[in-house]
Amino acid sequence: MQLRKRVLVTGGAGFLGSHLCERLIAAGNDVLCVDNYFTGTKDNIGALLTNPHFEAMRQDVTFPLYVEVDEIFNLACPASPIHYQFDPVATTKTSVHGAINMLGLAKRVKAKIMQASTSEVYGDPIEHPQTESYRGNVNPIGPRACYDEGKRCAETLFFDYHRQHRVRIKVARIFNTYGPRMHPNDGRVVSNFVLQALRGQPITLYGSGSQTRAFCYVDDLIEGFLRLMGTGDDFTGPVNLGNPVEIPVKELAERIIKLTGSSSTLVYKPLPQDDPTQRCPDITLAKSKLGWEPTVPLETGLKRTIDYFRAFV
């Protein structure tokens, strides 16, 4: 008799995936982590590898996967611009073929499946803050398109499998999330600024630093994932998961300098093409359907992240 839920986490050795695997194991599930270790590492899941209820499998989601599971969290995809632009064709394949393979698996074994979608589906948004009904402003041929359009197509596939094959789907649109186990070289703003501050190097502001983002601490986000997966079959999303406290990137730099006591100065670099000028989630839907909102203030989350990155200096 099966007592534990069997949960598949694709991209489980990555930043978000490794935190999710930990929470799922702590909650008494059997967890299968599938990852090709493109940006994830075995170190991220090191503490779980000896747990008999945890299994790590090296596999690329662009190839079919035959396993028996009850739930699937589909996180496999490089998430930082540096990594997803390294091999843009592979990025689109990961999102699109990965979604087809995981949805096909969900259909065959009748599993519930959650897609890690992204605020990037809104592109450089004209509506602000972004609600789920906003259809976005994405450049389909720019350097970010492999990621943005790949994720948009994955959402399309999720809803078509739901309508056509009655697959039970959940779509989370994740906004900028940070915390321990972010990849130290992924070029994302929090990891870059924290490492630069700890090393006493200049803090690289792209553009004027007036572009805004809203930063969610990883523990809050994972709680959102679990609540979303726990909703009834009538709720599919898409639902925004993110912290609605918006700040300019320059202010983030100043706060990190203060928290680290760093002597770093600010240097200005060119703004990358298609870099969104503003981004902030409207989380009204998440509050009403999931009873969810972030609880970790930016300062608390940054302190924990800074402590994690001290080992890399």
What residues are labeled active site? Answer: 147
Report if residue 176 touches ligand UDP, rule: CB under 6 A. yes
Question: How many other β-carbons are positioned within 10 Å of the β-carbon of residue 153?
Answer: 15
Give the interface segment with ligand NAD, choosing from 171-179, 196-204, 232-240, 257-265 (CB under 6 A): 171-179
DSSP string of 9-63? EETTTSHHHHHHHHHHHHTT-EEEEEE--SS--TGGGGGGTT-TTEEEEE--TTS
Write the CB contacts of 43 (distance below 8 Å, at least 6 apart in sequence).
none
Residue 204 makes contact with ligand UDP by CB under 6 A: yes
> Looking at 42, 53, 57, 62, which residue binds ligand NAD (CB under 6 A)?
62
Rounded to an integer, what distance in angstroms lies between the CA atom of residue 134 and that of residue 113?
A: 23
**Which residues does 253 contact at the CB level (< 8 Å), separation at least 6?**
193, 203, 205, 209, 266
Nearer to ligand UDP, 189 or 283 (CB): 189
Q: CB atoms < 10 A from the CB of 141, how many?
A: 8
Residue 78 binding partner per list ligand UDP, ligand NAD, none, with a CB distance cut-off of 5 to 8 Å that depends on partner kind: ligand NAD
Residue 144 Cβ vs ligand NAD, minimum distance, rounded to whole Å: 12
Stretch that binds ligand NAD, among 6-14, 195-203, 252-260, 284-292 (CB under 6 A): 6-14
From 184-192, 215-223, 226-234, 298-306, span contacting ligand UDP (CB under 6 A): 184-192
Q: Which does 192 bind (CB under 5 to 8 A by kind): ligand UDP, ligand NAD, none?
A: ligand UDP
3-class secondary structure per residue, 271-311: CCCCCCCCCCECCHHHHHHHCCCCCCCHHHHHHHHHHHHHH
Helix (H) or strand (E) holding 93: helix 88-109
Q: Tokens 């809803």 identify what position?
A: 159
Classified as helix, coil or strand, 3 is coil
The reply on whether position 136 binds ligand UDP by CB under 6 A is: no
146 is an interface residue for ligand NAD by CB under 6 A: no
> Given the rule CB under 6 A, which of 9-17, 121-129, 159-167, 279-287 is the region that contacts ligand NAD?
9-17
Reduce the secondary structure of 217-264 to three states and give it as a string: EHHHHHHHHHHHHCCCCCCCCCEEECCCCEEEHHHHHHHHHHHHCCCC
Site string for ligand UDP, 236-275 (x = CB under 6 A): -------------x----------------------x--x
- Distances in Å between the Cα of 41 and the Cα atoms of 33, 84, 307 are 12, 16, 19
* 78 binding ligand UDP? (CB under 6 A): no
Residue type, 309: F
Nearer to ligand UDP, 62 or 278 (CB): 278
Told to check if 192 binds ligand UDP by CB under 6 A, we report yes
Mask: binding to ligand UDP, 43-62, rule CB under 6 A, as x and -? --------------------
The H or E element spanning position 117 is strand 112-118
Q: Does 75 sit near ligand NAD (CB under 6 A)?
A: yes
Question: What is the binding site for ligand UDP (CB under 6 A)?
Answer: 80-81, 176, 187-189, 192, 204-206, 211, 213, 249, 272, 275
Question: What is the binding site for ligand NAD (CB under 6 A)?
Answer: 10-11, 13-17, 35-40, 60-62, 75-79, 94, 98, 116, 118, 174, 176-177, 183
